[in-house]
Amino acid sequence: MGIQLRPYQQEAVEAVYNHLRVRDDNPCVVLPTASGKTFVIAQICMDSVLQWNGRVIILAHVKELLEQAAEKLMQTASELILRVGIYSAGLKSRDTEHPVIIAGIQSVYKRACELDAFDLVIIDEAHMIPVDGEGMYRTFLADARAVNPNVRVIGLTATPFRMKSGLICAPDNFLNSVCYEVGVRELIVQNYLCPLITKAGRKKADTSSLHVRAGEFVTSETEALMDTDELVESACREIVEYTRDRKSVLIFSSGVKHGEHIADVLRTHHSAQVATVFGHTLSALRDQTLADFRAGRLKYLVNVNVLTTGFDAPNIDCVAMLRPTMSPGLFYQMTGRGFRLHPGKENCLVLDFGGNVMRHGPVDAIRIQKPKMNGSGDAPAKECPECHSVVHAAYAICPDCGYEFPKPERARHDAKASTAGILSDDVEITEHPVKAVFYGVHTKQGAPEDAPKTMRVEYQVGWQHYQSEWICFEHTGWARRKAESWWRRRSNAPVPSTAEEAVDMAEAGALCKTESITVRSAASEKYDRIVGYELGEKTFYREPGWDDEDLDIAEEPQHTQASDEEPPF
């Protein structure tokens, strides 16, 4: 009983259950913006209530997130008899007795005891949880544990860190470990997310004089720098020029005054259909403006950091950033507004007037990591002087116009590992120590039910960095022979005939430990490829059903399926 999930969404759900069963701490799921976190939440709610007779509360910090969760859950609830309530002052609802409650943290943080016991607390946009201090989430969760000491917390986010405090997952935090992650690039290649292309503004502001406070440029200085007639008029000319064939353009400004200036120039100089949404915008006007934008009745929408999270408008085919930011998370949230697929939308254009792509990397290889505050390190991107495309620093020729970049000066001892990513023309070979390995059965998108399945192997090589490969046990010819060779290098057990059998055996301890992997990256290939392994000793594998009491019991499987008999909480 459940929703028809995409393969990676199902993998995320199973990873959560596995974590809750085999560990005592609280997991976090990292899924890109527009990848369908709400459907993952919905499936967990349905399993918890309808299979395991549990109770769930979903917490979010903005009204749009509550509305999205309520809409998708209630659509499913009508078919599966799942009662969903809403507790939110902003939505004028105070339901308290439903098995699933969707709540605004501002409305319930002092009312956990009144709402009675919950088995699961699910937090959307989990990077909003404060690590230090007595914030609203901390207050609610402390009281929820007083009612039910066994309550578990599940977080979902696209950006699992914050500039001031670093990673949101740590032993002493509410969320302790990333249990599942899938990357932007992988979902773009699989046609689940919309491709992004980017252009830098011709006229740029020099941000070198801006001061940094709490990991971000000082807001007043940023707005003063960006809000000049010369910069605003130049940016607006380019926005109009680049978006003649675009339908819906979302613009981020550096402040309210700056946003009003942008809207005024677009309206008076270019006769553009434009509106603004700021923090002080009245709710009724805001709702109508967003409805007009989503419906295509409004082409240009200017906002100030209001529509970064919780704003769902699949029709957005251009994001214009007139705001520089030091936060890769904010940069990600702004560009992520264009990730959603929409009929007739081939890609989303990102116009960067704040130097953000140069600062954080190309938009199809965004690196969500805490930057070095001293600005050291090679720039992850560079701008073509001819067409203003922003590409990875390793490109020798601009892929858009053919401009040949001057060859860089080579420093002595140039053997240091590069920062090249998916846009690099150069081949990069990197060795990664493996922290953990996860196995799953993978079905190719759009394949018929009887199509061969593969075993997906995920190597965790960083706190949120995974490298995948697919082993084709159910195929024939060269693919099957390669799978047999892969298995025999790691196990003395017979080679499995199906992907499901391979996963079961791998999780039961049939494979030796993978100490490290060597990865080859090249721009001409869709995926990075694993080209080498450092393997541990093969271990003795005990087939299921053996009764030898002297043999050690295999470790608990790393992935388990949901079952009626074994609730994960």
CATH code for the domain in which residue 205 is found: 3.40.50.300
pLDDT in tens, the chain (569 residues): 557 899 999 999 999 999 999 999 999 999 998 998 888 998 999 899 989 999 999 998 777 777 777 777 777 655 557 788 899 887 888 998 899 999 988 899 999 988 999 999 999 888 877 665 558 888 999 999 999 999 999 999 988 877 565 678 888 888 899 999 888 878 888 899 998 888 877 887 889 899 988 778 999 999 999 999 999 999 999 999 999 999 999 999 999 999 999 999 999 999 999 999 998 999 899 999 999 999 999 999 999 988 877 678 999 999 999 999 988 788 888 998 999 999 999 999 999 999 888 887 765 555 544 434 334 445 556 777 776 767 666 566 665 666 677 765 533 333 222 223 223 234 667 888 998 899 999 887 777 888 899 999 999 887 667 888 999 999 988 788 889 989 999 998 999 999 999 999 998 889 999 999 988 776 555 567 888 889 998 887 766 554 444 334 334 333 334 444 567 87
Single out the residue of 2, 6, 57 nearest to residue 31, CA to CA.
6
Q: Answer yes or no: do 371 and 452 share one domain.
A: no
- Cβ contacts of residue 493 below 8 Å, gap of 6+? 505, 510, 541, 543
Q: Long-range contacts made by residues 370-379, C-beta under 8 angstroms, separation at least 24?
A: 370/161, 370/163, 370/166, 371/326, 371/328, 373/212, 373/215, 377/419, 378/418, 378/419
**For 425-447, how does the pLDDT look when each residue is reduced to its tens digit (9 = 90+)?**
346 678 889 988 999 998 877 77
**How far is residue 170's CA from residue 179's CA, in Å, rounded to a whole number?**
13
The answer to whether residues 448 and 329 belong to one domain is: no
Q: Verify that 223 and 364 share a domain, yes or no.
A: yes
Regarding whether 298 and 397 lie in a shared domain, the answer is yes
289 plus 213 within the same structural domain: yes
Residues 148 and 82 in one domain: yes
Whether residue 559 is contained in a domain is answered as: no
Question: Has residue 326 been placed in a domain?
Answer: yes
Do residues 63 and 206 both lie within one domain?
no
Whole-number Å distance between alpha carbons of 329 and 161:
8
- Residues 293 and 216 both lie in one domain: yes
> Side chain identity at 312, as an amino acid letter?
D
On whether residue 425 sits in a domain, the answer given is no
Neighbour order of strands in the sheet with 514-521:
428-433, 514-521, 529-535
Residue 542 lies in a domain: no
Q: Is residue 216 assigned to a domain?
A: yes
Same domain (yes/no): 369, 496: no
362 with 437, same domain: the answer is no
Q: Which secondary-structure segment (H or E) carries 534?
A: strand 529-535
Give the structural domain span for 246.
Answer: 194-405
**How many helices, marked H, and strands, marked E, lie in the chain?**
14, 26
Query: How many domains, in total, are found in the chain?
Result: 3
Three-state SS annotation for 407-463 = CCCCCCCCCCCCCCCCCCCCCEEEEEECCEEEEEEECCCCCCCCCCCEEEEEEECCC
Considering the domain architecture, whether residues 234 and 328 belong to the same structural domain is answered as yes
Amino acid at 162: R
In a domain, 328, yes or no: yes
Q: Which two tokens stand for residue 7?
A: 């393969």
For residue 412, being part of any structural domain is answered with: no
Q: Is 339 found in the same domain as 212?
A: yes
The domain boundary residue, chosen from 161, 182, 203? 182
Q: What is the distance between the alpha carbons of residues 456 and 472, in angstroms, rounded to a whole number?
A: 9
The answer to whether residue 418 is domain-embedded is: no
Q: Is the distance from CB of 260 to CB of 243 less than 8 angstroms?
A: no
Q: Which residues contact 70 (CB under 8 A, 6 or more apart)?
A: 84, 86, 91, 102
